[in-house]
Structure 1
C-alpha cells in the first residue's frame, strides 16, 4: 500500500511572501521570480526524490527539501560567506567553517575581500563553459526560490530547528550566496586555507620577519573503488564511494535524487548549499571522488622595490601592489556595532600574504581555482552521461574539477580514473628553475621574473593550467582505486608514471590506508578474505568496505607480542616501571578490528599514537630513524615498510605510557570503540587513518580520563555501493551523520544508528521502487 500525503500550498500568498523575501535582501545577484513547480517524494530515512519538468523547478524542489532539513546550517554559513559573523557574534569568536575555523574578524575580512574583488561578477558575466550555463543558472535560481519559500511559509519564529529558531541573523538567501558557496568550495585546497594570512596583509609591521606560511588544514580525504567486468562475478560495473568529509557544518553531504524525465535522473550526495549531485549515479554510470595530491596553488616570492614596501620588481621594473579597502561591521561587548576597515594587498599573482612579508620581500598566493565555477556545470553533465565516454567528454569540456580525482564505472563494465582537476601549469623543469624557497608544504616560485609565470597547454580551457593530455588517466576492465595517494598505484598492475610532479609523486611510501585498500581488493579477487568465491558482488563490496581492518595491528602486533614475552615490565617515559602483562594479553586476544565490541582496539590506538608522537624522541636521536623493522622499498611498495623494531626503546615506552594512562584512570584495558567513541548518543565503530583503517573516523581530540573521545567529527560520511546491472542500478547507501542537522528531526541520527550497526539503506531509484515505499510522502510545490 502506498501512503501518500499531498500538500497543495496556497500559491498566491506564498508567491507574494517569496517575492517579498527576495526583494528584501539587497545583493548583486538575485534569483529571478519565475514559475516553478516540483514534487518532493520522501522515502525511508527522509530521503527526498525531487521531480520537475525543468532545471529551475528541480532546483526549486531541492532548495525547499534541503531547507526543511538543514535551514539553520545554511543560514549560519551564509553569514560566513557574506562576511557578517562579527556583526552578530563578535570579532573574536570562531567561525563555523568545519574544516578551517578562524576568528570571525579574519573570516569576515577574507570574504568581504572576495566580494570587493569583483571575481564572482566577472565569472557570471562569461558565457559557458567559462561561466555558468543556462541550465545551471536556472538550477541555482530555483534552489534559492525553493529555500526561501520554505522559510517564508514557516517563519523564523516557527522553525522546527531550535538551533536558529527566532534568531535575528536568519533570513532569505540569494543567488549570490549560492554562487559564493560554490566558489568557496573550489578554493578549499587553496585560498580558503590561507584566510588569516590574506586577511592580515594590511597589518604587517614595518619590520616584519620571515616566518613559515601558516595554512589551514588540507581538504578532506576519501576512498574509492571502481570495479570492472573482469573483477565482478556477474560482469557488471561497480562503484564504491567513501568520502571522508566533516560530520558537522556546511561541508556535509545531503542525500538526494534529482529527476527531469527524459533529461536527468541522478541520485547521490550533494554538499550543503549546492544544487547538484557531486557523488552518485544514474541508470548506467556511477562516479565518486577522492581528494587529489596535486598542487592547487603556488606561492610567489616577491622582491620588494628598494625603499617601497608595497611595490615589487618584475623583470627589473617596479610594480605597485593593488589595494582593497574592506569594511567589516563588528559587535562590541555592549551590543552596539562599529566598522573596522582593513586594507588588503594584491599582486599580479594573487593576494599578498601577511606571513613572510619583510622589508625586502613578500609572498603572494596564486590559486588555480581563484575564479573557477566550471566544475558545477561539469557535475551536471557527468550526472547526465550515459557511459564513460560521455563522462570523459564532460570533464574535457569544462576542465573544472577543483581538487579531486574522479573514479567511475559504467554498465559495460569499464572503469576510469583521472586526475581531471585544475592544476597549475608548472613543469618539472620550471619548478627547479624557478624555485625560490624550501617550504616542504608549498611550492614557492620566483616572482621577480615573468619567466616563472604558469605555462599553457594547447588543449587547456584557459592559460595557466594543464590540459587533459597531461593528466594522469587510466581506463581498465578490472579495477581502479584511490585513497588520497598520488596516481602512481591506482592499479598496481599498471602503475601511472610520467606526469609532472605537481600532480604527485611516484615510487614513494604509501600510507597505511592506501595499502589496506589495495590489499582488500587483492584478497577479494583471490577469495582470500573469507567472503566466498573470488570476485565482487554488491554484497561482498559492502562487506569489504566496512570490514574495520586495522593494518597497523596486522603489521606490528606479532613483534609486539614477542617483546611482551621477554619484557613483562616496561619503562614509562618518566622512568617508572609498568607491568604490561594484562595489556599484552588483551592485545593478543583482540580481533584486530575496530568493531563496536573489539576489546583492545582503543588500547592499540593509544599505544600507536604514543609511538608516533615526535616529542618522545630525545634531541640527540636520529630524526630519520623509524620504528619500522623493514624500511620502505620502492620495489615492494605494497608490503613495506613492515614489522616493529622492538630494539627501539620508544616501543616499550609507548606501551608503558598507554597502560599507565588506563590504570591511572581506572579504565578497562579492554575498552572498545563502542564505549569510547560517539556521535551524540550513538556509538561509532572504526579507527583512525594513522592506524591503517579504510573507512576511518576521526574524533575531536584525545581520549579523556573518563574513557571517552570527543565526538566523531570527520570520517566516512556518504557511503555508496552501486552495481550497474542490465536491469538497472542496485544501490546501497548510508549517510553516516543522517539527513538532518536539526536535533528535533526524526532523521537526525536514524542513519547514524544504521552505520553504528554496519547496516545500509537499499536505495529506491526507479519509479516503481519509489512508489512501493510504504512510508512514501509527497509534497507538491506549485
Structure 2
C-alpha cells in the first residue's frame, strides 16, 4: 500500500503527558525530529510506533547507504552485487563476500529469528520493541520513497541497484548479528570453510576496546553519580554509533549512542540513571570436540547421532548459483576447519538465539533508579558480550558482567577438557574445547537464568561501591583495587593476571584525581575535571620506562645496525643521540603536537623482538609482573638486554633512512578524513587509544585511523537534571557530502566536547535548531 505524502511542520512539538496506547491510533505514524548543533536528532512521539518511525527516518537522512549495504550483507547477497572474492563490509572481522553470504544465508535458513519472534517476552521481543522495529523500518522506507534511489544525497549508493526498501526481518537479523558479534559472527570463515578475498594481506585481530567509569558520591564533588563512557568501536561501517535522543513524554526520555540499524540506545542516560559498557573477557561460546562415527555422524554417550545438513545457495554476478553444504550438530554448527577422520568440532554459542539485548537496553532506558536498571537486567538477561557500569542520582556506582556466559564450572572445564585431547581447531581461538562425546559435558543450568545453558545473575561478577567502579577491558577482578573480585567461575576470566597498560593508566588517572595529585585542583571529580582527565593523552609505558631509557641513552650513544629479518637494512652503526634527545624532551603525552610520541611508538613496537634470528621473544620489562602488586608492575626498561638497544637503534635508523623527522607528531602522522587525530595505541598504555590500518610508512604516515574512542560521554547526574558532554569522534553522518560528516571529528581533534541539550528548554534555546514533523501510515 502506498504511503500518504509526508507532512512537514516547522514548529516545536508541545510535549503532552498521556498514556501510550497499545497501538498507534488509526494505524498512523507520527513523530517530530528536532535537530540541534552538529545535526544531533531529538525524536519525540506519542507512542513506540511513531518513535521508531521518526528514528528510522532521521537515521536514513544521515546514513542510509551504510545500512543499505549491511542489509545486502544480512540477506547474503554481497557476491551478487560486489563479487564473491571482494571483502565484505563487516567492520569487525571482514571476510570474503562468498564466506559472508554463505554464513548469513545459513542463519536465515536456520529459522532462529522466526522461532524467537513466535515466543513471548522475555525470550521473544516485547510488544514495545516490535513496534519500535516496525516503525523504524517504515521510517527508513518512507525517507527512501520520498527521496528516491536516484536522488540520494550520498554518492556512495546513489542510483545503485542494491538499494531498496528494508524489512523488519532485516532489522531482527541485524539485532541477532550484533549479539553474535564476538562469537559466531566472528568465525564465518571457520564455519563455512571459505577463506580469502581479493585483498589477502594479513589482518590484525581486532582489539577489544572501551573504557568505562561509574563514579559514586564519594568520588564526586557534588555527591551524585557520574559516568564516563568511552567505547572503542570501529570508525566505519555498521558498528558505528549514532547520537540520538528518543522521547515519549511521560514514558521514555533517553539520550546517548545507538549502534547503526538498532532502534534503542546502547550507551546513554535519562534524567536519573546513566550507564555504559565495555567488552567482557568472559567466554561467550565453547567448542565441542566431536568423536566421529561413520559418515557424517558423531557419537554421544556411545550412540551415533547424524549431523544435520544445510544446503545454501549464493547467487553470483553472472546469475549462476554457488552451492554449499554446511553441517550442524546438537551443539551448533560443525566447523568446516579442523576436521579429521577421528574428530570434528562444533561451535556452541551462548548468543545463538539471543534477541533479548535490545529489550534490556530499552528497559534500562526507562529505569528511574539503579535498582530498576538492575531489575531490567535480571528480567531480560540479554547482554551479549559486555560489562555494564552504571550509576544514578543517589551516587551509587555499579559494575556487573551480566553477559551471556556458558554454564561451565571450573571442575567441568577441567574434567571435560581432559578427555578431549588436541589443540583448538581455530588458531588463536580463546575458548574451552570440551568433550562432545558425553552428555556429562553439556552446559549446566542455573535456576535464576532466563534460558538454559548460561550462568544466572547469582553467579555473575558484580560490585556496588560508594566511590567508583572502572573497567578498560581488563577482567572483572580489578574493578576497584580496594575490593578485588574473586571466586567466580574462570569462564568469566582469570584473576591475579597482568592488568595491561591501558587499564592501569585508567585506574591511576582515577587515583590521582581522587587525591588531587594530577594538578587539576581539589580532589574529587566534577564534570570539568572528568573531561580534563580524559583529555590528558598519557602514555603509560613511556612514563614507566622513561628513567631507564634516559639511563640507556647516557651509557649507549650508538648501537649496532640491524640484521634481523624484516628490520631496516644493516649499517655500520646507528647513532641514537638525536633520538634520545627527542624522547628526553617529550612530555609523554600523545597530543597532536607531541614531538616524540611517534618515535616512542615505533621504538616500543620493536621491543620484544629478538635481537638475532632464531632467538626467542623477550620481555622488555625490568621488573616483571607481580600479582601482589598489580597496579605498579611490570615496570622499568631492561636496558641491559641487547634487544632493547637494538630496538632503539632500529627505530632511529628507520626514521633517518627515510628522512622522517624524529620529532614527527601524531598530528602529522595519523588522521581520519584528512583531519589530524591525537592519541596512541593500546599496547603503549593509552587510555583513549587509536588504531590505524597498518604500520608507519616510509613517508611518515600511518594508514587512516579505523578504531578508537567513538561515542564519548561524560555525564553528571544531579537533582536538577543531567549535565552532559559528548563527542562523536567520526561525526554523525557517513555521507561524505553531509555537513555533519566530519564536524565533530574536527572538534575531537582539538579536544572539544558538545554540550548536550536534553530538556525541551535546552533544545529550544539552540540557535541552530531545525524541526520537522513526519507522518505516515502502516
TM-score, with normalisation over the residues of structure 2?
0.93
Contact 1:247 1:715 in 2 (8 A): yes
What's 1:696 paired with? Answer: 689
Distance of 1:508 and 1:32 partners within structure 2: 57
Q: Secondary structure at the match of 1:417?
A: strand
Listed one character per residue, the Cα deviations across residues 580-636 of structure 1 (whole Å, up to 9, x for unaligned) are 101100000001000000101000000000114x46564344x5x412100111110
Counterpart mapping for 1:229-244 below 5 A:
229-244=217-232
Distance of 2:206 and 2:176 partners within structure 1: 17
Listed one character per residue, the Cα deviations across residues 618-674 of structure 1 (whole Å, up to 9, x for unaligned) are 4344x5x41210011111000000000111111111111111111111110000000
| 1:382 and 2:364 are equivalent in the alignment | yes
What's 1:160 paired with? Answer: 153
Give 1:219 deviation, angstroms. Answer: 7.1
What's 2:498 paired with? Answer: 509
What's 2:455 paired with? Answer: 466
Distance of 1:105 and 1:652 partners within structure 2: 47
| 1:330 and 2:325 are equivalent in the alignment | no
Give 1:438 deviation, angstroms. Answer: 4.7
What's 1:751 paired with? Answer: 744
Q: Secondary structure at the match of 2:580?
A: helix
What's 2:251 paired with? Answer: 263
Q: Secondary structure at the match of 2:316?
A: strand
| 1:405 and 2:387 are equivalent in the alignment | yes
- From 264, 282, 288, give the equivalent of 1:294: 282
| 1:605 and 2:601 are equivalent in the alignment | yes
| 1:562 and 2:551 are equivalent in the alignment | yes
What's 2:18 paired with? Answer: none
Distance of 2:624 and 2:94 partners within structure 1: 37
What's 2:567 paired with? Answer: none
Q: Secondary structure at the match of 2:645?
A: helix
Deviates further, 435-444 or 45-54: 435-444
Distance of 1:681 and 1:693 partners within structure 2: 22
What's 2:355 paired with? Answer: 373
Distance of 2:48 and 2:398 partners within structure 1: 28
| 1:47 and 2:29 are equivalent in the alignment | no
Task: Name the CA shift for 1:616/1:198 in 2 (closer, same or farther; >3 Å).
Answer: farther
Q: Secondary structure at the match of 1:95?
A: coil
Q: Secondary structure at the match of 1:424?
A: coil
Contact 2:254 2:269 in 1 (8 A): yes
Distance of 2:133 and 2:517 partners within structure 1: 49
Distance of 1:615 and 1:111 partners within structure 2: 42
- From 348, 359, 382, give the equivalent of 2:341: 359
Contact 1:94 1:102 in 2 (8 A): yes
- From 636, 643, 653, give the equivalent of 2:629: 636
Give 1:681 deviation, angstroms. Answer: 1.2
Give 1:557 deviation, angstroms. Answer: 1.5
| 1:457 and 2:446 are equivalent in the alignment | yes
Counterpart mapping for 1:64-103 below 5 A:
64-103=57-96
Listed one character per residue, the Cα deviations across residues 215-237 of structure 1 (whole Å, up to 9, x for unaligned) are 99457410000000001111011
Distance of 2:736 and 2:355 partners within structure 1: 33
Contact 2:6 2:774 in 1 (8 A): no
What's 1:181 paired with? Answer: 174
- From 573, 582, 595, give the equivalent of 2:578: 582
- From 542, 548, 573, give the equivalent of 2:531: 542
Distance of 2:677 and 2:772 partners within structure 1: 34
Contact 1:525 1:535 in 2 (8 A): yes
Distance of 1:188 and 1:344 partners within structure 2: 20
Listed one character per residue, the Cα deviations across residues 427-446 of structure 1 (whole Å, up to 9, x for unaligned) are 00000000124547221000
What's 1:278 paired with? Answer: 266
Listed one character per residue, the Cα deviations across residues 79-117 of structure 1 (whole Å, up to 9, x for unaligned) are 001000000011100100011110000000000000111
Contact 1:678 1:712 in 2 (8 A): yes
Distance of 1:215 and 1:384 partners within structure 2: 40
Give 1:189 deviation, angstroms. Answer: 1.2
Distance of 2:77 and 2:423 partners within structure 1: 37
Q: Secondary structure at the match of 2:29?
A: coil
Q: Secondary structure at the match of 1:780?
A: strand
Deviates further, 590-599 or 435-444: 435-444
- From 693, 700, 709, give the equivalent of 2:702: 709
TM-score, with normalisation over the residues of structure 1?
0.93
Counterpart mapping for 1:92-241 below 5 A:
92-200=85-193, 217=205, 220-241=208-229
Q: Secondary structure at the match of 2:326?
A: strand
Q: Secondary structure at the match of 2:683?
A: helix
Task: Name the CA shift for 1:32/1:66 in 2 (closer, same or farther; >3 Å).
Answer: farther
Give 1:710 deviation, angstroms. Answer: 0.5
Contact 1:294 1:504 in 2 (8 A): yes
- The count of corresponding residues between Structure 1 and Structure 2 is 739
Task: Identify unmatched segments of 5+ residues in structure 1.
Answer: 1-9, 16-30, 204-213
| 1:346 and 2:337 are equivalent in the alignment | no
Counterpart mapping for 1:12-51 below 5 A:
12-13=4-5, 34-51=27-44
Distance of 2:398 and 2:685 partners within structure 1: 25
Contact 1:14 1:152 in 2 (8 A): no
| 1:314 and 2:300 are equivalent in the alignment | yes
What's 2:591 paired with? Answer: 595
- From 484, 487, 503, give the equivalent of 1:495: 484
Distance of 2:634 and 2:758 partners within structure 1: 44
Distance of 1:712 and 1:342 partners within structure 2: 36
Distance of 1:428 and 1:676 partners within structure 2: 47
Give 1:572 deviation, angstroms. Answer: 2.8
Distance of 1:757 and 1:572 partners within structure 2: 39
Listed one character per residue, the Cα deviations across residues 425-479 of structure 1 (whole Å, up to 9, x for unaligned) are 0000000000124547221000000000000011111110000000000001100
The root-mean-square deviation of aligned C-alpha atoms, in Å, is 1.8
Distance of 1:485 and 1:617 partners within structure 2: 33
Distance of 2:581 and 2:295 partners within structure 1: 65
Give 1:34 deviation, angstroms. Answer: 3.6
What's 1:5 paired with? Answer: none
Q: Secondary structure at the match of 1:178?
A: helix
Distance of 2:95 and 2:190 partners within structure 1: 11
Contact 2:98 2:194 in 1 (8 A): no
Distance of 2:74 and 2:243 partners within structure 1: 23
Distance of 2:351 and 2:676 partners within structure 1: 38
Task: Name the CA shift for 1:219/1:322 in 2 (closer, same or farther; >3 Å).
Answer: farther
Q: Secondary structure at the match of 1:689?
A: coil
Give 1:202 deviation, angstroms. Answer: 13
Contact 1:178 1:274 in 2 (8 A): yes
- From 239, 244, 247, give the equivalent of 2:235: 247
Q: Secondary structure at the match of 1:698?
A: strand
Q: Secondary structure at the match of 2:141?
A: helix
Give 1:162 deviation, angstroms. Answer: 0.5
What's 2:15 paired with? Answer: none
